[in-house]
Amino acid sequence: MDARDRLILGLDVPTVGEAEALIRTLGETVSFYKIGYQLAFVGGLELAHDLVRDGKSVFLDMKLLDIDNTVAHGVENVAKMGVNMLTLHAYPKAMRAAVAAAKGSDLCLLGVTVLTSMDAADLVDAGYDTDPRSLVLKRAEQARDAGMGGIVCSAEESSAVRSVIGPDMALVTPGIRPAGSDAGDQKRVVTPGDAIRNGSSHLVVGRPIVKASDPLAAAKSILDEMALALSA
């Protein structure tokens, strides 16, 4: 994969119209798009079908978690959409049900470990008696053993996670911020180049491109940084 295959643009905008305008602006520079809750509930799933039809890659960031039967049926229907990636929270039973449901399809299932907006204090508030890194590594191991296609984690942990999951699983890292940019509500952020060097296979970038005065130039700059890291 080259840098273009590894950059996932987060369509974190309030309307499908704004998403479509951004997609037109980025043209052939970006080929992989993430659709999450914000857009999914206002027509984003229909947009996903359109993107697949147009030859784009699509990552549905739905973070599924429910009883096994419900997760399995959801995954079965997502697989029929022809999208490339789907997230679910990295709970062992849910992951095993999802893997069984996706068998025979090309859908890459991603286990979400610890959200990049959470730090150690947030985990304590949520009732966990561990630190983010330890929990990420535990869930990465469980995802590997369940047969998942990949992991979502902060690029701060990607090198350690890569040593757990091996070379073949996808390692998708949000919370990517070019040097000097605002971290926003993210607490564990990494630059695009460092994320690649740490072992990330795909980088999810939203606000640094979406909110830029020139989104196309911002995307090209990030791709250049990724390409430089890949060639090192």
Of these residues, 63, 138, 211, 220, which one is catalytic? 63
CA 38, CA 34: separation in Å to the nearest integer?
A: 11
Predicted confidence (pLDDT) at residue 94 exceeds the cutoff of 80: yes
Question: Residue 66 annotated as binding?
Answer: yes
For residue 107, pLDDT beyond 70: yes
Q: Could you give the CA distance from residue 140 to residue 124 in angstroms, rounded to a whole number?
A: 20
- CATH of residue 17: 3.20.20.70
Domain count, the chain: 1
- At residue 232, the pLDDT reads 80
Residue 116 among known ligand-binding residues = yes
What is the DSSP-derived secondary structure letter of residue 176? Answer: B
Residue 126, domain extent: 3-231
If pLDDT is split at 50, 70 and 90, which confidence band does 55 have? very high
* Residue 181: pLDDT band with limits 50, 70, 90: low
66 is catalytic: yes
Please check if 206 is assigned to a binding site.
yes
User: Do the strands 108-112 and 57-64 form a parallel or antiparallel pair, or are they unpaired?
Assistant: unpaired
**Residue 62 near residue 87, CB atoms below 8 Å:** yes
The Cα 56–Cα 173 span in angstroms is: 20
User: Do the beta carbons of residue 110 and residue 150 sit within 8 Å?
Assistant: yes
pTM over 0.85: yes
| 63 given a catalytic annotation | yes
Residue 56 assigned to a binding site:
no
Q: In this structure, which amino acid lies at residue 54?
A: D
Residue closest to 170 by CA, chosen among 232, 99, 110, 82: 110
Distance CA 98, CA 7 (A): 25
Q: How far apart are the first and last CA of the chain?
A: 15
Q: Please state the rounded mean pLDDT for residues 82-91.
A: 97
Task: Tell me the C-alpha distance between 82 and 104, whole Å.
Answer: 12
Amino acid, res. 230? L
> Looking at 2, 5, 56, 66, which residue is catalytic?
66
Shortest CA distance to 217 belongs to which of 32, 57, 56, 25?
25
